[in-house]
Amino acid sequence: MEGAKPEPGPVGLEFCLAQEGHFEEVMSISRDVYGGIDYLPVRYRTWLQEPARRVMLAKRNGRVIALVSVNVVDDGRTAVVEGLRVAPRERGKGIAGLIQEHCLDFIRAQFPEVEVRRYTRSGRLGPEVLAKFQLICKQEILSLYFKVEALRPKLGAAIVQLKASGTEWQEPIVLQAADVKRVFLNPTVIDTVLPGKTIVHDWAPFKASGSNLETLLKQDIVWMADSKEEPSVLSLCTAPYAIPMGANHHRLNIDIFGKHFPGARSQFLAHLQEVIGSLQGPLYCILYMDPSLWQEMHSFCLESFGLQSDRDFGGQSVLEAGI
């Protein structure tokens, strides 16, 4: 199983662990995924190196037709299912269900201490999904598109204006590694700021624990808070990464936790200022936040800030079920 030799499976499928050499085939089944803003092209090789992650492929007649990844987090207790995709011509035949089942069997055998599985799904969830899964938390999504050159002067002007208004600006603090642990492991923060006691970073859900923070601190993330002692808003921002949409197109994700709008808006703007640096060209910025903030953030971005809304994801839900 550890090598590339596929195992026979149901309905003419074979399963094997993904390897670096499968990259082009995986990309060829991913062309339409997330309308061109797919993260897998930049994550694929990193995922293969992560010790607690398994990336599984399904093949038919020797050709890759589906992929799923499962990462074991929360001190070995949670299997997080990510990256699911099936080749367009093979959809609607139950393959997504089969590859997940196969990968989870593999995880159960390799990580017997796993108790639950978690998924982060977009879209409005129907009763059939909620009957099978417990909803851990729901964030709303604002998907923004702009050219960095056009944003740069507006960003500076918006920050100056908010600072001049007094209470509308809540000075964001960039957290260093030692601060991150202290702030995110604070029991009040876990209970009152984190949605469902969960740190959701770029679609991946983590319980607030020392081991998960160690893992996240190895990634290229900017961490912010409105206070180190009694924070009411916290946020994480990925470094901008290239996406298949086109040459020089980038994406970044800003996950915001907490319900205080001025704090959330200040951190959103500060993250943009921190990351855009010398970047040029089109940028897709996906902003995840408590549903209570969405209307004000939407109005600010579109009306006051002149940004263009990109697509409606229908929210982001973290779901859990027994393994």
Ligand X SMILES: CC(C)(COP(=O)(O)OP(=O)(O)OC[C@H]1O[C@@H](n2cnc3c(N)ncnc32)[C@H](O)[C@@H]1OP(=O)(O)O)[C@@H](O)C(=O)NCCC(=O)NCCS
- Rounded to the nearest whole angstrom, what is the least distance from the CB of residue 106 to ligand X in the complex? 16
d(CA 110, CA 53): 11
Question: 15, 39, 119, 257: which one contacts ligand X (CB under 6 A)?
Answer: 119
Site residue total, ligand X (CB under 6 A): 14
Q: Least distance (Å) from ligand X to the CB of residue 35?
A: 10
Select from 17, 33, 216, 256 the one that contacts ligand X (CB under 6 A): 33
Q: Which stretch binds ligand X (CB under 6 A): 88-96, 223-231, 247-255, 302-310?
A: 88-96
**Least distance (Å) between residue 195 CB and ligand X:** 19
Site for ligand X in 120-159 (CB under 6 A): 121
* Six token digits for residue 170: 């809540």
Cβ nearer to ligand X, comparing 117 with 265: 117
In the bound complex, which residue of the shown chain has the CB atom lying closest to ligand X?
A: 96
Please report how close the Cβ of residue 121 comes to ligand X at its closest, in angstroms.
Answer: 5
Tell me the DSSP string of 266-293.
HHHHHHHHHHHTT--SEEEEEEEE-GGG
Binding segment toward ligand X, per CB under 6 A, in 79-87, 156-164, 223-231, 289-297: 79-87
Kindly identify the residues of this chain, within the stretch 89-118, that bind ligand X according to CB under 6 A.
Answer: 91-97, 100
How many Cβ atoms sit within 10 Å of the Cβ of residue 100? 18
Beta strands 221-225; 234-238: pairing state: antiparallel
- The least distance separating ligand X from the CB of residue 273, rounded to whole angstroms, comes to 31
Residues 6+ apart with CB under 8 A from 198: 136, 137, 205, 206, 207, 208, 318
Q: How far is the CB of 321 from ligand X (least distance, A)?
A: 10
Smaller CB distance to ligand X: residue 95 or 283? 95
Q: At a CB cut-off of 8 Å and minimum separation 6, what does 88 contact?
A: 29, 32
Q: Tell me if residue 215 falls in helix, strand or coil.
A: helix
Give the list of residues 6+ apart from residue 19 with CB closer than 8 angstroms, or none: 4, 48
Dihedral sign (CA 42, 43, 48, 54): negative
Closer by beta carbon to ligand X, 104 or else 233: 104
The Cα 165–Cα 257 span in angstroms is: 24
Q: How far is the CB of 38 from ligand X (least distance, A)?
A: 8
Residue 134: which H helix or E strand, with range? strand 134-147
Stretch that binds ligand X, among 40-48, 82-90, 236-244, 261-269 (CB under 6 A): 82-90
For the chain, the straight-line distance linking the first and the last C-alpha, in angstroms and rounded, comes to 21
Q: How far is the CB of 95 from ligand X (least distance, A)?
A: 4
Please choose, out of 14-22, 57-65, 83-91, 135-143, the segment that lies near ligand X by the rule CB under 6 A. 83-91
Identify which of 242, 234, 243 has the alpha carbon closest to the alpha carbon of residue 288: 234
The answer to whether the beta carbons of residues 243 and 37 sit under 8 Å apart is yes
Name the residues that contact ligand X, by CB under 6 A. Answer: 33, 84-86, 91-97, 100, 119, 121
